[in-house]
Amino acid sequence: MLNNIKFISADEAVKVVKSGDHIHLSSVASAPKVLIDALMRRGDNGELKDVRIHHLHTEGGAPYTDARYEGVFFHQAFFVGGNVRKNVQAGYADYIPIFLSETQKLYRSGVLPCNVAMIQVSPPDKHGFVSLGTSVDATLAAIECAEHVIAVVNKNVPRAWGDAMIPASMIDYFVECDGLLEPAHFTEPDEIEAAIGKNCAGLIEDGACLQMGIGAIPNAVLAQLGNHKNLGIHTEMFADGVLPLVEKGVINGANKVIDKGKMVSTFLMGSQTCYDFIDDNPMVRMMDVAYTNDPFIIAKNPRVTAINSALQVDITGQVCADSLGTKFFSGVGGQVDFIYGASLSERGKAIIAMPSVTNKGISKIAPVLTSGAGVVTTRNHIHWFVTEYGAVNLYGKSLQERAKLIISIAHPEHREELDKAAFERFGPHYHFIG
């Protein structure tokens, strides 16, 4: 018993799951491993069939996507993370394309049922509140809509403020387990990523409000911002890269119009140090994704600068960020929410940044997207485009002007063939574009 909470075992708690149910799991570092393991035991015992599992991406294992659970668990995630990628590509698991801002709406509008929400929370405080810690995102909506809420109470879940704080009375079943949250692993930026970071940093003004996407680029950009002033954070996720800038006073939120002086995020993906940083930290508001990712809320702050990455960009500025041809690698996530929000913000900058070539030397800039690739950020949404060779602004530029600008920051070895393709596509007039 802890503050009048009655704990039961994970095996006991997951007995509420019935065949045909939809389950939501809290995301990223906060995936409730002990409940997932108990659920798999019920699957192994032949007690369940056709159970749907939804979540953003999770760190750690995703055993419910294994081929052996075909017909038992059917995984339909809102993002394709590293732990489900192979099984999504093989067809054992599936993906629901959805803007991150709208993941919560799937539950709140009733488009997706939520029979059971499985979450992790901090122990209750003296007021009877627990914190969702590193995962508020669509998890809060799932809790509101679920028939049953099972929470792992874990003293390693940081007591994050904002929408993360919920009354323990919203939870039906409590399971105690103090495992460490799953850390995300990052490598130091290489030479190319550092050059991209520098090119992005050159576009970031003092007083900017930053969103950094997922992948290798964000930390490379943050590493270049040590001499900036009065930066703010309104983002969907952040990781360790922001911590030295907060310590130095570079990130202080002083220029924000909403949430002045605060950092706003909806989930975290970092090391234990990053998770410790938000513990009882009044500077950080962990908020519902309906708030963090609404483009019109994002746009309320001035100089919103959104930096996201891509897998492939064509010479007209169409951005593929979710698949390699037909093979799904990732998801739309919050890329479009923030690219659009930044473009609406006063002096905002929407940036797509990526290396010009893959680690195998293939050009990521292509005459046309690979067959089967989808467009995440459309050519109407793209503004700034950055590689290690520079930064170009495509907003208000014609197709032929865009091709010239994009090719000017392609890898030098690929510029000639790209130029040839542009000439074949647009005709002789293309040569006269300045």
- Catalytic positions, written as ranges: 236
Write down how long the chain is.
Answer: 434
Binding part of the chain for ligand COA, among 141-149, 256-264, 305-313, 400-408 by CB under 6 A, reads 305-313
If one asks whether residue 368 binds ligand COA (CB under 6 A), the answer comes out as: no
Question: Closest Cα to residue 388, out of 350, 349, 353, 351?
Answer: 353
If one asks whether residue 356 binds ligand COA (CB under 6 A), the answer comes out as: no
Nearest distance from C-beta of residue 309 to ligand COA, angstroms: 3
Q: Which of 7, 129, 186, 329 binds ligand COA (CB under 6 A)?
A: 329
Give the pair of three-digit tokens for residue 152. Answer: 């792992």
Nearest distance from C-beta of residue 351 to ligand COA, angstroms: 11
Q: Which of 214, 223, 297, 392 binds ligand COA (CB under 6 A)?
A: 214
If one asks whether residue 283 binds ligand COA (CB under 6 A), the answer comes out as: no
If one asks whether residue 93 binds ligand COA (CB under 6 A), the answer comes out as: no
Nearest distance from C-beta of residue 197 to ligand COA, angstroms: 13
Question: Closest Cα to residue 410, out of 338, 326, 312?
Answer: 312
The nearer residue to ligand COA, 98 or 153, going by C-beta atoms, is 98
> Exposed e or buried b for every residue in 222-253, given b needs 16+ CB within 10 A?
bbbbeebebbbbbbbbbbbbbbebbeeebbbb
The nearer residue to ligand COA, 183 or 331, going by C-beta atoms, is 331
* Alpha carbon 64 to its chain's center: 22
Strand ranges in 122-181 using DSSP code E only, listed in sequence order: 129-131, 148-153, 161-162, 165-167, 173-176
Tell me the number of residues near ligand COA by CB under 6 A: 24
* Residues 199, 412: Cα–Cα separation, whole Å: 17
The nearer residue to ligand COA, 80 or 168, going by C-beta atoms, is 80
If one asks whether residue 315 binds ligand COA (CB under 6 A), the answer comes out as: no
If one asks whether residue 362 binds ligand COA (CB under 6 A), the answer comes out as: yes
**Helices of type H across 293-382:** 295-298, 335-344
Query: At which residue do the structure tokens 């002033």 appear?
Result: 229
Q: Which of 43, 333, 341, 367 binds ligand COA (CB under 6 A)?
A: 333
Q: Which of 38, 310, 350, 410 binds ligand COA (CB under 6 A)?
A: 310
* Residues 196, 333: Cα–Cα separation, whole Å: 22
**What does the DSSP 8-state code read for residue 85?**
H
The C-alpha angle 357, 359, 360, rounded to 5 degrees, equals: 90
**Helices 412-426/399-408 angle, 10° precision:** 170
* Residues 367, 364: Cα–Cα separation, whole Å: 10
If one asks whether residue 284 binds ligand COA (CB under 6 A), the answer comes out as: no
Q: Which of 324, 344, 421, 433 binds ligand COA (CB under 6 A)?
A: 324
Binding part of the chain for ligand COA, among 161-169, 285-293, 357-365, 401-409 by CB under 6 A, reads 357-365
If one asks whether residue 135 binds ligand COA (CB under 6 A), the answer comes out as: no
Nearest distance from C-beta of residue 334 to ligand COA, angstroms: 4
If one asks whether residue 371 binds ligand COA (CB under 6 A), the answer comes out as: no
If one asks whether residue 339 binds ligand COA (CB under 6 A), the answer comes out as: no
* Residues 137, 54: Cα–Cα separation, whole Å: 13
Binding mask 222-261 for ligand COA (x = CB under 6 A): --------------xx------------------------
The nearer residue to ligand COA, 39 or 311, going by C-beta atoms, is 311
Q: Which amino acid is at 189?
A: P
If one asks whether residue 341 binds ligand COA (CB under 6 A), the answer comes out as: no
* Residues 148, 87: Cα–Cα separation, whole Å: 28
Q: Which of 60, 133, 183, 334 binds ligand COA (CB under 6 A)?
A: 334
* Residues 386, 289: Cα–Cα separation, whole Å: 27
* Residues 295, 384: Cα–Cα separation, whole Å: 18
The footprint of ligand COA (CB under 6 A) covers: 213-216, 236-237, 308-312, 321-322, 324, 329-331, 333-335, 358-359, 362, 364
